[in-house]
Chains A and B, each alone.
Chain A
Amino acid sequence: MNSSIRRWFSRFRFWQFVVLVAVLLAFTVILVFPLFSLFSKAFLNNAGEFAGFDNYSKYFSTPSLSASIKNTLDIALWSTLFSGVLGFLYAFALARTRIRWKTFFKYTAMIPIFIPTVVHALGLVYMFGRQGVLTRAGLFPFELYGRLGIIISEAIFTFPQAFLMFFVALEFADGRLYEAADSMGASPLEKLTRITLPEIKYTIINAFFVCFTLAFTDFGAPKVIGGSFNVLATDIYKQVAGQFNFNMGAVVGTLLLIPALASFTVDRLVSSKNSGTISAKATKLMIAKSIKRDAFFFCLCSLVTAFFLFLIAMLFVGGLSEHYPYNLSLTLKNFLFNRSAGGVDSYFNSLKMAFLSAAFGTAFVFVYAYMMEKINGFGALRKYGKLLSVLPLALPGMVIGISFIFFFNDRGNPLNFIYGTIAILVVSNILHYFSVPFFTASGCLKKLDKEYESVASSMNVPQWKTFLRVSVPLSLPAILEIFMYLFVNAMVTVSAVVFLYNAKFKIAAVAIIHMEEAGNFGQAAAMSLLILAINVLVRILYEAAIKIIKEKRL
Chain B
Amino acid sequence: MPFLEIINIVKKFDKQIALSDISVEIEKGELVCILGPSGCGKTTLLRIIAGLETANSGQIFIDGVDATFLPAAKRNFGIVFQSYALFPNMTVIGNVLFGLRQKKWMAKSDMHTKACEALRLVDLFEHKDKFPRQLSGGMQQRTALARAVALSPSFLLLDEPLSALDAKVRQKLRGEIRAIQRSLGITTVMVTHDQEEALTMADRIVVMNNAVVEQIGTPREIYNHPTNPFVANFIGTMNFYQHDGQTCAIRPENIVITNRKSHYDFAAHVKALEFKGPMTRVHGTLPDMSEVCMDISSEAASEMRLNENGTVFLKMPQENLINYANTAV
A binds B: yes
Closest to A465 in B: B102
4 A-B pairs with least C-beta separation: A459-B99, A10-B69, A451-B85, A460-B73
Given A11-B54, A454-B72, are A459 and B83 also a contact pair (CB < 8 Å)? no
**Cβ of A454 and Cβ of B79 under 8 Å apart?**
yes
Contacting pair A6 B88 (CB below 8 A) = no
Interface 1/0 per residue, A432-473 and B, CB below 8 Å: 000000000000000001011011111111000000011001
Question: What's the Cα separation between A549 and B143 when bound, in Å?
Answer: 24
When distances are taken between beta carbons in the complex, the residues of chain B under 8 Å from A451 are: 81, 83, 85
Task: Pick the contact of A457: B52, B69, B78, B81 (CB < 8 A).
Answer: B52
Contact across chains for A459 and B151 when beta carbons are under 8 A apart: yes
Taking residues whose C-beta sits less than 8 angstroms from the other chain, chain A's interface range is 20 to 34
Q: Does B275 contact A (CB under 8 A)?
A: no
A-contact 0/1 string along B137-148, CB 8 Å cutoff: 000000000011
Q: Is B50 an interface residue (CB 8 A)?
A: yes
- Other-chain residue from A10, A449, A458 in contact with B78 (beta carbon distance below 8 A): A458
Q: CA A473 – CA B98 in complex, angstroms?
A: 15
Residue B300, interface by CB 8 Å: no
Residues on the B chain within 8 Å of A7, using CB: 54, 56, 69
Q: Which residue of chain B has the shortest Cβ distance to A449 in the bound complex?
A: B85
Q: Tell me if B89 and A456 are in contact (CB < 8 A).
A: no
List the interface of chain B (C-beta within 8 A of A): 47, 50, 52, 54, 56, 68-75, 77-79, 81, 83, 85, 87-89, 98-99, 102, 133, 147-148, 151, 153, 157
Closest Cβ of chain A to B187, distance in Å, is: 15
Choice from A6, A458, A469, A474 contacting B50 with Cβ under 8 Å: A458
1/0 per residue A465-505: CB within 8 Å of B?
A: 00001100110000000000000000000000000000000
* Closest A residue to B79 using CB positions: A458
- B81: A residues at CB distance < 8 A: 449, 451, 454-455
What residues of chain A lie closer than 8 Å to B69, measured between beta carbons? 6-7, 9-10
A175 to chain B, nearest CB (A): 28
Q: Is there contact, CB below 8 Å, between A457 and B85? A: no
Which of A6, A449, A455, A456 is packed against the most chain B CB atoms within 10 Å? A455
B59 to chain A, nearest CB (A): 9
Question: Chain B residues near A452 (CB, 8 Å)?
Answer: 85, 87
Residue in chain B with minimal CB distance to A457: B72
Given contacts A7-B54, A469-B98, contact A458 B83 (CB under 8 A): no
When the two chains form their complex, are residues A455 and B70 in contact, meaning their CB atoms are under 8 A apart? no
How far apart sit A452 and B95, CA to CA, in the bound complex (Å)? 11
Residue of A nearest to B100 (CB): A459
Contact A474 B98 (CB under 8 A): no
Residues of chain A touching chain B, judged by Cβ–Cβ distance below 8 Å, are: 6-7, 9-11, 449, 451-452, 454-461, 469-470, 473-474, 553
Min CB distance A311 to B, Å, is 43
A10, A455, A474, A553: the one within 8 Å of B71 (CB) = A10
Contact indicator B54/A458 (Cβ below 8 Å) = no
Which residue of the partner chain B has the closest CB to A459? B99
Q: Which residues from B are CB-within-8-Å of A456?
A: 98-99
Contact (Cβ within 8 A) B85 A458: no
User: Who on chain A is nearest to B99 by CB?
Assistant: A459
Q: Which chain A residues border B70 with CB–CB below 8 Å? A: 10
Give 18 pairs: A residue, B residue, CB < 8 Å, sorted on A.
A7-B56, A11-B54, A449-B81, A454-B72, A454-B79, A454-B81, A457-B71, A457-B73, A458-B50, A458-B77, A458-B99, A459-B147, A460-B73, A460-B99, A461-B102, A469-B87, A473-B89, A553-B133
**CA of A473 to CA of B88 in the docked complex: distance in angstroms?**
10
Cα–Cα, bound, A9→B71 (Å) = 10
Of all chain B residues, the one with the shortest Cβ separation from A474 is B89
Select one of A10, A458, A470 contacting B87, CB under 8 A.
A470
Separation of A292 and B87 alpha carbons in the complex (Å): 51
Cβ contact within 8 Å between A461 and B98: yes
**Residue numbers in A under 8 Å from B52 (CB-CB):** 454, 457
CA distance A7 to B58 in the complex (A): 10
Q: How far is the CA of A252 from the CA of B56 in the complex (A)?
A: 52
Beyond A10-B71, A458-B75, 5 extra complex contacts between A and B, CB < 8 Å: A7-B69, A10-B54, A460-B102, A461-B99, A473-B89
Query: In the complex, what distance in Å separates the CA atom of A9 from the CA atom of B153?
Result: 25
List chain A residues, Cβ under 8 A from B74: 460
Rounded to whole Å, the gap between the CB of A203 and the closest CB of chain B is 32
Residues of B within 8 A of A6 (CB): 69
Closest B residue by C-beta to A451 = B85
A93 to B94, CA, bound (A): 47
Smallest CB separation, A379 vs chain B (Å)? 10
Contact partners of B153 in chain A: CB under 8 A: 458
The answer for the CA separation of A461 and B79 in the assembled complex, in Å, is 14
Contact B89 A454 (CB under 8 A): no
Contacts of A10 in B (CB 8 A): 54, 68-71
CA–CA, A460 and B79, complex, Å: 12
Asked if residues B50 and A454 are in contact (CB atoms below 8 Å), the reply is yes
The CA-CA distance from A304 to B98 in the complex, in Å, is: 53
Within the complex, the shortest CB–CB distance from B327 to chain A, in Å, comes to 37
Min CB distance, B34 to chain A, in Å?
17
The answer for the CA separation of A423 and B52 in the assembled complex, in Å, is 41
| In the complex, residue of chain B having the shortest beta-carbon distance to the beta carbon of A476 | B89
Residues of chain A within 8 A of B79, CB atoms compared: 454-455, 458
How far apart are A410's CB and chain B's nearest CB, in angstroms? Answer: 43
In the complex, are the beta carbons of B85 and A474 less than 8 A apart? Answer: no
How many angstroms between the C-alpha atoms of A470 and B85 in the bound complex? 11
Contacts of A459 in B (CB 8 A): 73, 78, 98-99, 102, 147, 151
What separation, in Å, do the CA atoms of A458 and B81 have in the docked complex? 12
Q: How far is the CA of A454 from the CA of B43 in the complex (A)?
A: 13
Nearest residue (CB) in A for B96 is A459
Distance, CA A473 to CA B94, complexed state (A): 14
B226 to chain A, nearest CB (A): 33
> CA A468 – CA B8 in complex, angstroms?
39
Query: CB within 8 A of A458: which of B56, B68, B73, B89?
Result: B73
Residue with the greatest number of chain B CB neighbours at <10 A, chosen from A9, A459, A473: A459
A17 CA to B226 CA in the complex, in Å? 48
Q: Which residues of B contact A461 (CB under 8 A)?
A: 73, 98-99, 102
User: What residue of chain A has the Cβ atom nearest to residue B50's Cβ?
Assistant: A458
Residues from chain A with Cβ under 8 Å of B72 in the complex:
454, 457-458
Q: Which residues of A contact B78 (CB under 8 A)?
A: 458-459
- For the complex, give the distance between the alpha carbons of A459 and B75 in Å: 9
With contacts A457-B71, A458-B78 taken as known, whether A470 is within 8 angstroms of B89 at the C-beta atoms is yes
Nearest A residue (CB) for B78: A458
Complex Cα distance, B131 from A473, in Å, reads: 15
Chain A residues closer than 8 Å to B148, beta-carbon distance? 458
**In the complex, which residues of chain B have a beta carbon less than 8 angstroms from the beta carbon of A460?**
73-74, 99, 102, 151
